[in-house]
Amino acid sequence: MCGIVGYIGKHEASEILLEGLKRLEYRGYDSAGITLLNNNTFNRVRTPDRVAGLIQLAKNANLQGRLGIAHTRWATHGGICEANAHPHISSDGLFTLVHNGVIENYQKLKDFLLSKGFTFSSETDTETIVNLIAYYYSKQKENPDFSKNSFLESVRKTLNDLEGTYGIAVICKDFPNDIIGARKSSPLLLGVGEQEFILSSDIAAFARRTKNVIYLNDNEIVHVSNQDFTIQTISDKSVRAIIETVEWDGDSADLGIFSHYMEKEICEQPTALLNSMRGRFSDDESTAHFGGLNLSPQELRHVDRILFCACGTAWHACLIAKYLIERFARIPVEVDYASEFRYRNAPLDKNTLFFVISQSGETIDTLSALKEAKRKGYHTLAISNVVGSTIAREANGGIYQHVGPEIGVASTKAFTSQILIAAMIALFLGRLRDLSFEAGMKLVEALKKVPEQVQTILDSRLLIKKHCSQIRSLQ
């Protein structure tokens, strides 16, 4: 989702990593951090603040070393605070790691690691990855065939246990000349420079230092060791690396091939939609489920009316939610403008479910409406894209969109993801009532096809543009 930079080479890493983070700022983030390895010590600074704040902290800490990792975070698990900012360090102190993405089975892995004596100092899913690497490493250390490959093997074993998405960069105190990166549904590239290597989620981070790039594919691990590197898959097959030469410079790289953020975010919709639905369909594929509603099926069966409240674009998403929920779940839905709800003293039935939608989770009128409903004793739910936002914290439960930061106005990928989530709510509530198993399966199948269908339309955008100008010239 947000930004990763890793460095190993002949120069001091701190400035290069921080410059890389500055280049990734355009993606949006809520906190930032950096760790350098020097003389068998991890020196780390993190902040729930801007990169400029991190640069100041790094300066004060006089960070040194030629190997390090840095990160800008867009929180998905755990609020926005220093303890949740990356890099994370394993509880045995041997590994440090940065991660972009979401680990769906982190709770199960965390429980396992707790039972093995590992400890956690954050609420993130990420900390499970670094502790799991440490766990596999400790197992290998007990083995007589412990070798130079043990770091890589521990990472590989860990990745095989993960469900979800990741781009990672990890370093180990026992291997001061190595850095490992890997990806699955989250970008990661290796820049190959003059006696230096830079790992990053975005070429913008290093386009000024080198034009030689290797784009990792899903399920691939790159291991840089002693000024050389190898790539293998997580199932241990070696991969032939193709070094490509990129033409663009650092300034145009931010937007890649796009001319502005709105265009970029429109084109990100297939991935954004996939991220909103990931891990939310049931095993038998006949319904959706959401972890954070905090309502039992019994309580949900008692709901006989839903009131949606929002402002602006999110209000339009509510209007579509009404059609979807009434059609599939047969529950009457009303939609209110948040700014009006607060003042009009609407009579609410005791079995009314109160839902708000806000991309930022900070829309002030929506927040006030939510507080008013809570004051009246209703169970309140929120759909939001920003973890730890005021609305997300204030509501009794909710659903995160996981579409990453949206910079462009008007909303594009956040809006379509809200509609997708509304369809999944309709399916979920419908299956608790009269929607049959077959009808549920059909809906799941149809929803799963949406990202691909959106991609097909996006692939025709040049043709659509051509037709638009033809139509315009007829007017």
Provide the binding-site residues for ligand GLU, judged by CB under 6 A: 1-2, 73-78, 84, 99-102, 124-126
The nearest distance, CB 101 to ligand GLU, in angstroms, is 5
The nearest distance, CB 390 to ligand GLU, in angstroms, is 18
The nearest distance, CB 387 to ligand GLU, in angstroms, is 7
- Cβ proximity to ligand GLU, 127 vs 365, nearer residue: 127
Residue in the block written with tokens 């990053």: 200
- Cβ proximity to ligand GLU, 129 vs 267, nearer residue: 129
Q: Are strands 333-337 and 220-225 parallel, antiparallel or unpaired?
A: unpaired
Q: How far apart are CA 379 and CA 375, in angstroms?
A: 10
- Cβ proximity to ligand GLU, 75 vs 403, nearer residue: 75
Sign of the Cα pseudo-torsion (20, 23, 29, 31, in order): positive
Residue type, position 423, single letter: A
Q: Are 96 and 179 in contact (CB under 8 A)?
A: no
Q: How far apart are CA 126 and CA 105, in angstroms?
A: 11
In which element (H, E) is residue 216 found?
none
- The neighbour count for residue 266, using CB atoms within 10 Å, is 17
- Cβ proximity to ligand GLU, 44 vs 99, nearer residue: 99
Contacts of 144 (CB under 8 A, 6+ apart): none
Q: How far apart are CA 292 and CA 297, in angstroms?
A: 13
The nearest distance, CB 359 to ligand GLU, in angstroms, is 17
The nearest distance, CB 258 to ligand GLU, in angstroms, is 21
Q: Are 137 and 172 in contact (CB under 8 A)?
A: yes
The nearest distance, CB 167 to ligand GLU, in angstroms, is 8
Which token pair is 67?
A: 């190997």
The nearest distance, CB 164 to ligand GLU, in angstroms, is 9
- Cβ proximity to ligand GLU, 46 vs 66, nearer residue: 46
- The neighbour count for residue 142, using CB atoms within 10 Å, is 7
Query: What residue is closest to ligand GLU based on CB?
Result: 1
- Cβ proximity to ligand GLU, 3 vs 65, nearer residue: 3
- The neighbour count for residue 67, using CB atoms within 10 Å, is 20
- Cβ proximity to ligand GLU, 187 vs 193, nearer residue: 187
